[in-house]
Every structure is written in structure tokens, then in C-alpha cells.
Structure 1
């Protein structure tokens, strides 16, 4: 006789199947919810990371130091040799000017390649400075090559005048001064990230009184001196901070008051025209004039640590 399922057994079977379907559905629904939460968490963390990365200044201490060693120093090493050669020429101490300028041309080419070895473009001002230093070195290479050719027919004094008036040299100097101004502007931006009371940008008024100048932080002063040298198209063997120290010394010693000089530009003109600034002036006066000032840890600010 065929056995039939009782009503209770049938209901139990249907209930069991229904419960199983619900459990499977709940399982997959849980997976979907979990995946959605995980994805949302990942997106949120990724956005937070991007926000944090965007908030990091592109002018950190390590950026300034990296630029110094990989871009600025190669340029500076060439510049020192250039000024040494021009000094010898002005004193009539060399009769091998052609050979000297050929060596300078080769050195400029080598240093341009060194300055191109890294990419500083993540920091806009440092990127601009790098490009302009490289351009300057390439132009110095050409200027040196032309000077080597002219050295065969010109006297030392004639050669100096010829070189300093030649368009390639003037362009090389202009690019170098523009690069210097960008580098010191980057230092100002760095100082603003360390001290919120310091502005990240500063443009001096056309007439800046010495009383106003003396209240400025040193990173602003140095940037202003880089501006002053660029405006005057004055390529120098000394740094902007050397000029800063001489201006401060001139003002604090009472000389400015005694000579009735009240503006920064007047003091700068006097110091430059009388050749009263030397490389190393900042280092010599640092302990006297610049105690506990905010400066990046760069070798030309702290030469004793080299």
C-alpha cells in the first residue's frame, strides 16, 4: 500500500525549504552589505589620504635641501669658477684667457647636466629655479666659448668689457638671478608653514622705510634682497643673505641715521655701488645680528655644520 505524507510532515518540509531559502538569501544579502561597507570605507580612506597629501606643502625642509645639493650647488660651483676667472683677468694675471674660457665652457656643460639629474617640478618655485639655472649654465657655456674665441685678439680689459656686454652673458646672468629669486621665494613659503605669522608671499613696496625693514622676518628680508639684485640685474659672488646682513648692520650701527638715509633702496644702492658687501658677511655677523631666527637648515646658512 502506497504511503502518503501526513499534513504535518508536508508542512514541516515546506517550512524547512522556506527557512533554507531565507538563510541563503540572508547570507548573500549580508555579503552585499559587507562589500558595500568595505567599499565605502576604502573610498573614504582614499579620499582622506588624498586630502592629507594635498595639504602637505611642496616646500618642505627636505625639498629645499635636495634642491641645494642637486641643483643650486652645481650652479654655484660654476659661478665661483667664473668669478675667479674674471678676477684673474681683471688683474692681468693670466695670459691663457682662451684656454681658461674653454675650461669654463666645458665646466658649464657638466654642471648643467648635474643640475638636470633630478626632477624638482613637484615644487613649482623650485621647478622654475631649476629650469632657469640650467638655462643659465647652458648660456654660460656659449658665452665662455665666444669669450675663448675673442681672447685671441683682445687685451684683458677689452675682453672683460666685451664679455660683460655680450647678449649671451647678459641672458645667462638674468636667468641665474631669476632662479635665485625663485629659490628664496620658496624659502619664504617654507617659513610660512613653520610660523603662521609669516606670510607665504611678500612684495616690498616701492618705498620701504628702514624702520619697516627692521621688523621683517629674515626669510622675507632675504627674499627682498634677491628681488633687489634681480631688479638691478646684478650677478654677485655673494648671497642675498650677505646683503641682508650688511643692510641690517648699516641700520643698527647708526650709520644710516648719521647719513640721513631712510629707505632700503638707498642703502642697497650705497652698499652695492661702494662694493661694501662680501661673500661670508652673513656668517660673520650671524651670532651678533641673527640670533634665534627662523632659517632652513641649508649649508650657506649654517656653514659650521658642513
Structure 2
């Protein structure tokens, strides 16, 4: 005969479940509040960094894009590179002390945050201001995720830790802000290109589904903006740049693969390329001379490698 729970035991069980639900909810609420507080703090801290110049100026000048690359985007990318390398070593059992490695990542995120925080971004370039804010918030969230991972590393296997890191609420928030910042930066490049060449639109009116025929006629700077948007929509933290994805999409189409597979949309091609890990950092440089010799681009290091 089954033993029925007493009233006291039932109340205790319901009380425990209620407290568990409240605790989980409070954690995720805390992450959001922490992110919001970070944003408010960053806005206040960076007010004095914005600068304006007398007279009429172009909202997005090439010198501002270059300055942003070196002072904000590059510090963030340097952290991201180390993050990927450390996680690769973790997955291949190359780290003797995983906890120490994550502590070093946390320290690096803090260092790169300080570097990017001091960058001066003109008020005439609101997309760059927003990008700076997003990258700073991303670095702050990654720092928190690395700290939490360093603690968990003492109790979890490498495989379990990797899974936990990717599901960590702070990591998820970090990816969201980092990809948002990247999209803001590429949006700013489009605004610059439009100011240089009136034939390039500063606003892209595309349907929810971008057809391959539409894609073919777009300028490179527009394609790059759309690929940054694709990565942001997917919340895909990738080691490659949006232009690397652009070049792989173009190569895929030119090689006739899209026709063979009866693909009609850019979304389908991007899904395939990302899911099969067919995009690498440097793909753009490898195809630039063949595909993009006459395209307008700002003079940024990742578009014009030194070896050229």
C-alpha cells in the first residue's frame, strides 16, 4: 500500500519547489539587471569621451571608422581570439589547469574593457557610439562568464564545462552584445560608403527572405552589412568576419552549388555554410583579388592586409 504524504510533508515539498523557481527566476533577473546597470554606468562614463568638431561634417568619416577599429574593435577581437583558442585547448585536453586559464580570460576581458572604454567616439557617429557600448557590455559579460567557469572547472569535466559555458546566462548576454556591436560597426561602414558614393543606399530595404538574384546585384559593403546582420540574428559568435562569410556565399553561388542544391535564398546558403563550418577567418582576403577589385571599402586593416 502506498504511503500518503502528510499535510506537513506536502507543504514542505510545495514550499521547496516554490523557492527553487524563485531562485532560478532571480538569477536570470539579476543577469538582466546587471546588464542594464552596466549599460547605464557605461553611458555615464563615456559621455566625456565623445567629441564634436566645428562646422558641417560627414556623420561617418573614414578616419572615425579607422580609429574605432584600433581603439574598440581590435581590443574586443583580441579577447575573442584568446577565448576561442582557450576553448579549443580545453576541448582537446591541452590545458593542464582549466580554472587558471579561465581566470586569465577574465583578466584579459577586464584589460580589453579598459582599453576600449577610453576610446573617443564622435557624437556625430551614433552607430559607433552604440557599437562601443555594446562591445563594452559584451566584454563585461564575458568576464563574468569566465569567472563563473573558473569556479565550476573544479567540479566539472572539460566537456561538461564547455557545455555549461555556452549555456551560461552571462555568456549568452555577452554574445548578444558583441554581435550587436559588430552589426552597428558594419552599419556605420555602410553609412560612410553611402556618403562617398550616392549610388550606394544608406538604408537597405530587403524582405524577410533575401533571394539570391537580389544578392548578386548588391555592393560589397551592403553584403557585409547583411552578413553582420545574419550573425547577429543567429547570435553566432564566430572567429571569422562578416566579409569572410560574404566571400564564401559569393563563391558558393558562382561555383553553381546553389543551383545544384536548388537553393533560392541567402539564408539557406548561410545556414549551410555555418552548420558545416565552411567559413574561415581569411576567406575574404583569399578571394578579394578575384571577386572584389572594384568594390568600395573603407581603409581598414581586415580589408587590406599588410601582405598586400
Give the TM-score, by structure 2 length.
Answer: 0.81
Q: Provide the residue aligned with 1:43 in structure 2.
A: none
Distance (Å, rounded) in 1 between the aligned partners of 2:122 and 2:98? 38
Q: Provide the residue aligned with 2:133 in structure 1.
A: 131
Q: CA deviation at 1:53?
A: 2.4
1:194-217 Cα distance to aligned partner (Å, 9 max, x none)? 100001122431111111101000
Q: CA deviation at 1:100?
A: 0.3
Alignment partner of 2:295: what SS? coil
Distance (Å, rounded) in 2 between the aligned partners of 1:272 and 1:228? 11
Task: State yes or no: 1:300 paired with 2:272.
Answer: no
Distance (Å, rounded) in 1 between the aligned partners of 2:215 and 2:306? 28
1:203-262 Cα distance to aligned partner (Å, 9 max, x none)? 431111111101000110000001101111101000000000000000011111111111
Task: State yes or no: 1:213 paired with 2:215.
Answer: yes
Q: Provide the residue aligned with 1:158 in structure 2.
A: 160
| Equivalent residue runs for 1:1-306 within 5 Å | 53-54=55-56, 56-122=57-123, 123-304=125-306
Q: CA deviation at 1:87?
A: 0.8
Structure 1 runs (4+) deviating above 4 angstroms are none
Tell me the C-alpha RMSD between the 2 structures. 1.6
Q: CA deviation at 1:290?
A: 1.0
Distance (Å, rounded) in 2 between the aligned partners of 1:144 and 1:303? 32
Give the TM-score, by structure 1 length.
Answer: 0.81
**Contact persistence 1:204–1:224 (CA under 8 A):** no
Distance (Å, rounded) in 2 between the aligned partners of 1:67 and 1:182? 12
Q: Provide the residue aligned with 2:42 in structure 1.
A: none
Q: CA deviation at 1:58?
A: 1.9
Q: Provide the residue aligned with 1:29 in structure 2.
A: none
**Contact persistence 1:299–1:305 (CA under 8 A):** no
Q: CA deviation at 1:60?
A: 0.4
Equivalenced residues, count:
256
Unaligned runs of 5+ in 2: 1-51
Unaligned runs of 5+ in 1: 1-49
1:133-157 Cα distance to aligned partner (Å, 9 max, x none)? 0111111111111111111111111
Distance (Å, rounded) in 1 between the aligned partners of 2:130 and 2:307? 28
Q: CA deviation at 1:93?
A: 1.4
**Contact persistence 1:187–1:219 (CA under 8 A):** yes
Alignment partner of 2:306: what SS? helix
**Contact persistence 1:70–1:118 (CA under 8 A):** yes
My pick for the range that moved more, 245-254 or 114-123, is 114-123
Alignment partner of 1:216: what SS? coil
CA gap of 1:144–1:203, structure 2 versus 1, over 3 A, is farther
Distance (Å, rounded) in 1 between the aligned partners of 2:67 and 2:122? 12
Distance (Å, rounded) in 1 between the aligned partners of 2:55 and 2:205? 29
